[in-house]
Every structure is written in structure tokens, then in C-alpha cells.
């Protein structure tokens, strides 16, 4: 980062100090690293593969050829609107800070809880997806492992523990691995696309724009029997579920050089590149499928079925290894994101044991307690929710269907507040990444419309319990806020409180060796 001058460093420090915070975390991430951490969490080799059946067992080829770019655009409108806000307020746990400044203590607190719940559960879901990919590619075929709750939790404990350990050792090592992850995802997606095209029997391009209705038994019961229109709309959940997690660029703001410029660029570019390379990869896969009707019947096993049928075993295993490593690195980057959210919220007293959770290791310059707490909670979530069922559906499956709703709610709250706060005393100064009032408000309105669509799609069968979980969470949140937090929680420093914190800022920076 030879282009990071003393002037740039002073500017980053000035912005952070002006919001009442100390430079406790180490600013080691380049603009590419900030992009790579979001690109790694999005990881088209994780969600794009593990959730593939939502498309192939839905509207078939059209769910990829038409549905993928449409769903990616829905994610992009959030990223663009959030980028505008992140340039003005580049702090760790950015969403919580935005929700507080553009709204009030309650909206900031609510944003934090939605984002935190979404991040912890999505970390568990990502690593469960990695587990099932490992079982399908190596675990069962080569090691004869059986899928049991014990096997799943042991596997999750090992890989999540390794992800936490790397994060514990500092942002320098984490950034190097997520940088590598960015290149690995690019290379593997291209290689997978080339292999699929080489293995294809024919190139039926029209297949990518052919609408089918594989709901019910025709699609392995991935979706209940429904209309062709609905099954296409439900297929949009594939790109929407995959293209999320780009808020990681905001969460690592305090570790990114020239954050006011790098963070918004990292956020938007991670979505655009994921959308493009995901489209190339998935279209190539659909063209390789020998028979769409047979593929739909495979349900959630469609990826392995098609690869077994069309690809040479050695090439297939090389691809599987690269995909597995990419999925592990996806979880690694997610640990970074969730730990920074915990750290930032605790820094302002938003969580139990906040003093411990906000502590930064002077040796590694990382929020050690936050890293291990978020990682342990994700494993406990998977373990506990796998043991309890509602009817025949595990609670884990029900909560994971809520995860994206929670995350996008946490995106939508500060965006909606920004729509009304633009130009007022709450938001009268923009950052260097500036769309202008008209463009920001357009993307903010599109984000609100997209949020409604995501919520409606997210609570459809077989995920209809997601409605009750979401409403229940809102009720519990209201009780906690009005019963306890409204009198205790002060929110981030604003106004005179920032000036009063300057002595604390100096002491905090001295404690971690920041000079």
C-alpha cells in the first residue's frame, strides 16, 4: 500500500475521531482487500452451488438465464444505496452507526440486532453448506461418512474454530487469505464454466430462456406445487440469497485505508463482479445438464448429479477441492464481519458483557472476544436448532429461511432513514463517493420496494414459518427495548459527547500501540 500517505492516514483518523472512536483496530486492508472480504462472503461457489436447486427445480433454465440477473439487480440496489451512506460514515459495524445517526437510538439498536442475528445465523448456514458440500464431494464417496447431527457439529466446530483462530491472529493474515479467496473464486468460477461447456453434449442456448414449472414432485419437492409465475419469483431467492454479505466492506471500515472511498467501491464492485462471474458459471452449468426434466427431479442433489454424469472424475475432484476451500474462506470472511459488528455494538454498550466484547488485543489488534463469541454462537445455533423440530421441519431450516430477511431488514432500515434525512441536520455532509440526491433517493425507494418483495418471497411455503419467526422476533425486540434498553442504551457518540471522548480516544489508541 505504497500509495497510502501520511495525509491519507491523518484523514482516516480525523474521520474516525470525529465520530467519537479510537483507532484500536489496525488499518491494514487495501481497497482490493475491502472488496475481497465482501466478494468472499458473497462467494458464488457457496450459495450459487448449494442453493442451485431453487432455480433448477423451480422455473428451470429461465431461473438462471433471466432470474439470476434480475435477482442480482435487487441486491445491487441495496449495495448502491448503502455505499452512499458508508462513504459519509466509514465505521466498524457501519449499519448500526448509520441507523443511529440517520434515525435515533432505537432505530440504530434495532438495525444492530437484525444485522447481528442475521450474521450469526448466516455464518452457521454457510458452514453447514460447506459441510454438505464436503459430504457430497469427499465425505461420503471417499471416507464413508454418514450425515448425523454428531458428525455435522464436530465438522462445524473444527472449521469454525479454524476460521476464528485465523481472525484472532489479526487482520493482516485474514486479509491475505481473503485476498487469495478473491482470486480463487474468480479462477474456479472460470474453470468450472470452461469444464461445463467442454462437457456439454449440445449448446441449447434457448434453454436459458425457457420457462418450466417444476414445482411439486417434478422438482423433487424443493418447492410445493404452485403456479409458473410464483415458482419463477421463488427462484429469485437463489441470487438474492447468494448476493448478500457485502455489508462486510462497511464492517471492516476501520481496518481499510482511505475508507471513505474504498468501502463504497468495495461494496458495489463485489456485487457486480459476483453477478457477472456467477452468471457465466451458472449458465455454463445449465448448458451442461443432459436433461432438464431429470435435473429438476434431483432436487438439492442436482449439482453432484450433473457433475457425476458429465465430468471426468479427476477434473471433478480438483474442482471440488477448489470449491471446498473457497467455501471455507467464505466462512472465514463471515467471522470477520460478525465479529466487527459485535465489537462495534459492544463499544457503545449494546450487548451483555460489552466491556469484554469490545476489548481489542494489543498483540493482534483484533477484537478477540467478539471473534470467538460470534463463532461459538453460530455453532450453538446450528446444534440447538437441529435438535428441535416444528412438525417435521427442523427449527434450523425455519430460522435459516429468516436469515436473509433479517439481513435485508438491517440494510433497509438505514437506507429508509437516509431517504428522509438527506439534507437535514442529521445528514448534511456527504462523503467523497456521492451519487447526488436524485440518484440516492431513487435507489433508496427501489430498496424499499425490493425489501417488500424479499419479505413476501421469503415467507412462502415451504418457508411459511418464517413469517411467525420474524413477527415473534419483532415482538421480543419490542419487549426488550421498552422493558430494558430504552432507559439504558445511549447509542453512539453524537454532538458534545464526541468532544468529551477525546481523552478516552487517546488512551485507547495508546493501549494498543497506535501511533
pLDDT digits (tens, 9 = 90+) for 41-55: 999 999 999 999 999
CB atoms < 10 A from the CB of 408, how many? 24
Q: What's residue 361's pLDDT?
A: 95
Residue 37 burial (C-beta neighbours within 10 Å; 0-12, 13-18, 19+): buried
The answer to whether position 509 is within a domain reads no
| Regions of the chain with pLDDT less than 50 | none
φ, ψ dihedrals at 390, nearest 5°: -110, 110
Residue 422 CB partners (closer than 8 Å, separation 6+)? 437, 440, 441
Q: Kindly report the backbone phi and psi dihedral angles of residue 24, in degrees, each rounded to the nearest multiple of 5, phi listed first.
A: -85, -40
Non-local (6+) Cβ contacts of 68 within 8 A are 55, 238, 239, 275, 278, 279, 282, 283
| Nine cell digits for residue 91 | 465505521
- Cell of residue 407, nine digits: 439481513
Report yes or no on 16 lying in a domain: no
CATH number at residue 74: 1.20.1740.10
Residue 391's pLDDT is what?
66
Peptide bond before residue 462 is cis, with ω within 30 degrees of 0: yes
Residue 259: the pLDDT is 96
Q: Which of 453, 433, 456, 454 is nearest to 81 (CA)?
A: 433
- Block residue for cell numbers 430477511: 405
Gap between the Cα atoms of 364 and 373, Å rounded: 17
Asked if the structure places residue 353 within a domain, the reply is yes
Instruction: Say how far residue 13 (Cα) sits from the centre of its chain.
Output: 27
Helices 94-101, 105-134: axis angle to 10 degrees equals 160
Is the pTM higher than 0.75?
Answer: yes
According to the model, what pLDDT value does residue 394 have? 66
| Integer Cα distance of 25 and 293 in angstroms | 52
Residue 87 contacts residue 263 (beta carbons within 8 Å): yes
Asked if residue 1 belongs to a domain, the reply is no
Is residue 474 in some structural domain? Answer: yes
Give the count of beta carbons closer than 10 Å to the beta carbon of residue 28: 19
Structural contact between residues 205 and 287, judged by C-beta atoms closer than 8 angstroms: yes
Asked, for residue 484, whether it belongs to a domain, the answer is no
At 461 the pLDDT is 86
CA 436/CA 438 separation, integer angstroms = 6
User: At a CB cut-off of 8 Å and minimum separation 6, what does 86 contact?
Assistant: 94, 98, 249, 250, 253, 263, 264, 267, 431, 433
pLDDT of residue 514: 84
Element holding 390 (H helix, E strand)? strand 389-390
Does any domain span residue 512? no
Which residues form the domain of 127? 42-478
Number of folded domains that form the chain: 1
Rounded CA separation 40/46 (Å):
9
What was the pLDDT predicted at 64?
Answer: 97
User: pLDDT digit string (tens) for 280-332?
Assistant: 999 999 999 999 999 999 999 999 999 999 999 999 999 999 999 999 999 99
Q: Does residue 447 sit within a domain? A: yes
Amino acid at each position: 500500500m505504497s500509495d497510502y500517505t501520511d495525509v491519507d492516514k491523518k484523514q482516516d483518523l480525523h474521520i474516525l475521531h470525529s465520530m467519537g472512536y479510537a483507532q484500536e483496530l489496525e488499518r491494514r486492508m487495501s481497497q482490493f482487500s475491502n472488496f475481497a472480504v465482501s466478494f468472499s462472503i458473497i462467494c458464488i461457489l457457496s450459495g450459487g452451488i448449494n442453493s442451485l436447486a431453487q432455480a433448477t427445480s423451480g422455473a428451470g433454465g429461465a431461473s438462471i438465464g433471466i432470474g439470476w440477473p434480475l435477482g442480482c439487480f435487487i441486491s445491487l440496489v441495496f449495495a448502491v444505496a448503502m455505499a452512499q451512506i458508508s462513504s459519509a460514515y466509514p465505521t466498524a459495524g457501519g449499519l448500526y452507526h448509520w441507523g443511529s445517526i440517520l434515525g435515533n437510538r432505537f432505530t440504530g439498536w434495532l438495525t444492530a440486532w437484525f444485522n447481528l442475528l442475521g450474521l450469526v445465523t448466516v455464518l452457521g448456514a454457510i458452514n453447514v453448506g460447506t459441510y454438505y458440500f464436503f459430504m457430497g464431494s469427499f465425505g461420503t464417496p471417499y471416507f464413508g461418512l454418514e450425515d448425523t447431527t454428531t458428525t455435522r457439529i464436530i465438522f462445524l466446530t473444527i472449521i469454525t474454530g479454524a476460521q476464528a483462530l485465523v481472525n484472532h491472529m489479526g487482520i493482516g493474515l485474514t486479509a491475505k487469505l481473503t485476498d487469495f479467496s478473491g482470486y480463487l473464486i474468480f479462477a474456479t468460477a472460470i474453470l468450472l464454466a470452461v469444464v461445463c461447456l467442454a462437457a456439454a453434449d449440445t449448446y441449447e442456448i434457448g434453454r436459458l430462456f425457457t420457462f418450466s414449472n417444476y414445482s411439486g414432485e417434478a422438482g423433487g419437492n424443493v418447492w410445493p406445487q404452485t403456479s409458473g409465475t410464483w415458482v419463477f419469483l421463488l427462484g429469485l431467492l437463489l441470487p438474492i440469497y447468494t448476493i448478500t454479505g457485502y455489508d462486510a466492506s462497511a464492517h471492516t471500515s476501520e481496518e481499510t485505508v482511505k475508507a471513505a472511498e474504498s468501502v463504497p467501491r468495495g461494496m458495489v464492485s463485489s456485487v457486480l463482479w459476483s453477478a457477472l462471474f456467477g452468471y457465466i458459471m451458472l449458465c455454463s452449468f445449465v448448458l451442461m445438464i443432459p436433461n432438464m426434466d431429470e435435473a429438476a427431479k434431483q432436487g438439492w442433489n442436482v449439482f453432484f448429479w450433473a457433475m457425476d454424469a458429465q465430468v471426468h472424475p479427476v477434473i471433478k475432484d480438483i474442482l471440488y477441492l477448489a470449491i471446498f476451500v473457497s467455501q471455507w474462506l467464505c466462512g472465514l470472511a463471515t467471522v470477520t464481519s460478525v465479529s466487527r459488528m459485535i465489537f462495534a455494538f459492544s463499544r457503545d454498550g449494546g450487548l451483555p458483557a460489552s466491556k469484554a466484547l469490545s476489548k481489542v488485543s494489543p498483540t493482534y489488534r483484533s477484537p478477540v472476544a467478539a471473534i470467538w463469541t460470534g463463532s461459538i454462537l453460530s455453532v450453538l445455533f446450528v446444534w440447538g436448532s437441529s435438535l428441535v423440530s416444528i412438525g417435521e421441519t427442523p427449527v434450523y431450516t425455519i430460522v435459516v429461511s429468516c436469515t436473509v430477511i433479517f439481513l435485508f431488514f438491517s440494510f433497509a432500515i438505514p437506507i429508509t432513514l437516509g431517504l428522509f434525512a438527506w439534507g437535514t441536520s442529521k445528514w448534511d455532509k456527504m462523503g467523497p463517493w456521492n451519487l447526488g440526491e436524485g440518484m440516492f433517493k431513487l435507489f433508496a425507494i427501489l430498496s424499499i420496494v425490493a425489501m417488500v418483495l424479499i419479505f413476501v418471497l421469503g415467507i412462502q411455503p415451504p418457508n411459511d414459518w418464517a413469517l411467525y419467526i420474524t413477527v415473534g422476533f419483532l415482538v421480543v425486540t419490542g419487549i426488550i427495548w421498552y422493558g430494558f434498553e430504552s432507559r439504558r442504551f445511549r447509542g453512539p457518540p453524537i454532538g458534545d459527547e464526541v468532544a468529551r471522548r477525546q481523552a478516552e480516544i487517546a488512551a485507547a489508541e495508546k493501549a494498543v500501540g497506535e501511533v
